[in-house]
Structures are given as structure tokens and as C-alpha cells.
Structure 1
């Protein structure tokens, strides 16, 4: 289902590309956000050079191991890296989208646009029938991002994911070919 190499995707004023060591400043900025470090493997601030290098290496290893693909979100006009987005394989027909945006780059629509670009690309992956996202019920910005990218809200799953060692409820969204609308009607 996954490509052999990380793709470079363009659209919505963004470039989604392979992480490089030039993204160390982005990783360090993300490490200042306690929520990002609680739900990802981004090293918390102050991260050492070795921790940042190891984080970037882990992103590359996900594709080689068949776990998924991780890409940096870059603003096309400025060339600045603003976040990261990934498609993680759940099983042979299902993958989950996850993302984070640098705290200094939020509220500019980067997450929603990146989700749209990556999920549009994922529609063409052979055998992948379901793209999903899980969002904590308090996270209105993420719910707007995935909803605006064509994901349908399916409901709340109790104790769906572990966050900081605690089970958390998650609002489940899916983007499935042929399904539209907030109630998942076939269209």
C-alpha cells in the first residue's frame, strides 16, 4: 500500500516533504508544546542534538518498516517548515492521519490544508479503503481541520487512545470514498 519513498506533495499553498536535518529548529519548537510531546515522539524541550537527530531518523524509519509515512508541512510561499503530518498504517485497508503544527504557526489553516493534501494523495493508495483521524473532544481546532478536509464525524470512542499514560476519549473521523456529510450518508 505505501510507496517506496516519501512523496513530495504540493497543494493548498503547501509542500509536504521528507523530513531532513534542516528541520531541527521545527522539532525543537514543537518540543516546547507539552501536548505535542505527550501524543508524539517529539523530544520535550530542551532537546539535545542527539534527541533531535534520533527523532528525524524515526520519521524515516516508519516508511521502511511499513508503519506509515511522515512528512514535514512547509509553507510554499515562504519555504518555512511549520509542522508535520503522517499517515500511519493501522491494517491492510486502514490508515490514520496525525499532525502537529509549530505553536508559532497555528491559526493559519496549515493543519486543515495539510490534512486535505495528504488524504487526497492517500485516496490513490492501492488497497486503502479508510483514512481516519481521532481528535480529543476538547480540540475544536483539530475537529475543524479534519472536518474541513472532507472527514466525516462518526462518533466518540471511549478510552480510545493513551495520552500521557492515561486513556482518553476520542472523536473519530473518517474519509471513505463515496461517503459524505456529518452523518456518514452515502453519496
Structure 2
């Protein structure tokens, strides 16, 4: 049985934990990113009020039944540096979907790979989850390399799979199974 709370998951350099209002600055740090606000609910305004509203939405994800929203925090300082989620809309079919982003200052250091590995290890301990899915734009090599490093396999290219901004975009579909 999957838990009814957002746990804290630890690894060497990252901690996955529930979002807190004091994490709003990391949301503000990605508000002007060219991609993150287009494919997530991160606001483009960059205001503290809007960043705190994003945090509150993440805090409510489990209660609304959509899944587990984690802040990715640095293990040594507990400073939030990104977001990772385990979305359980298809749990009745044995599937969960993952999504993530990191603030620009924390990219290209292996932190995302470490966070993804920790979340996958935890998620696959639950009998209800037999498959984890990821959808990644073909150009996003950093993201799909992190997925592959964590045992995900590319299963194919989905044409016009997801609207990003005003355009339908192709996505690679990746899966990791038990």
C-alpha cells in the first residue's frame, strides 16, 4: 500500500521532502526559464505570492489524489533546488509517471540523477506500482541521460504527444519496470 503522506527520502547529496513555503525562492528562480513554466504549473510572474501559490498546490497534490510532489533539496543545507513528482493517476493499471525540474544553478551536477534514482527505488517498493513512465522531449539530452542512468529504457517516440506552450511536441517515452 502506498503511503498517505509525503515521506522524506535521502541519498548522498539530495533529500526529497515535502514542499515548504520557504522553498518559494527556487520556484522564482525558474519562473523565467524558457521551458519549465510551459510544461509545469510554475508561474511565469516570478512574484513571491505566485511562487508560494505553487508551493501550496504541491502540498495539496496527495490530498487531491494526483500523487506525490517532492522538493529536491541539497542534503547538506536542505535548500530546495528543484522538484520531482510521482504521479499516480494510472495506479489502478500499475503505472505511475514521473516528472522533474531543477533550477539552472543546480543543473549538470548529477543531482537530478540522484533524486530520480531515490524516487524510483522508493516507488518500486510498492506492489501497486509495476511500471514507471517518463516523457522527455528528444532535444533534452540531460533529462533522458538521467533517465537512462536510472534504469529507464526508451520505448519509442510519441509524435505530437504533449502541447508545450502553443505547439504539440514529440516526446520520447521511457519506462522502468520491476
What is the TM-score when the length of structure 1 is the normalising length? 0.89
State whether structure 2 residue 67 is matched by structure 1 residue 86.
no
Aligned to 1:181: none
Q: Alignment partner of 2:81: what SS?
A: strand
| Alpha-carbon shift at residue 42 of structure 1 (Å) | 0.5
Superimposed CA distance per residue, residues 58-77 of structure 1 (whole angstroms, 9 cap, x where no aligned partner): 10111001101110111112
Aligned to 1:111: 112
Q: Map of 1:8-157 to 2, 5 A cutoff?
A: 8-47=8-47, 49-91=48-90, 92=92, 93-157=94-158
| Alpha-carbon shift at residue 29 of structure 1 (Å) | 0.4
What CA distance in whole angstroms lies between the structure 1 residues aligned with 2:2 and 2:32?
A: 31
RMSD over equivalenced CA pairs, Å: 1.3
Superimposed CA distance per residue, residues 75-127 of structure 1 (whole angstroms, 9 cap, x where no aligned partner): 11233221110011231211111000001111101111111100110001231
| Alpha-carbon shift at residue 17 of structure 1 (Å) | 0.3
For structure 1, the 5+ residue unaligned runs are: 178-187
For structure 2, the 5+ residue unaligned runs are: none
Q: Alignment partner of 2:71: what SS?
A: strand
Aligned to 2:164: 163
What CA distance in whole angstroms lies between the structure 1 residues aligned with 2:55 and 2:29?
A: 14
What is the TM-score when the length of structure 2 is the normalising length? 0.94
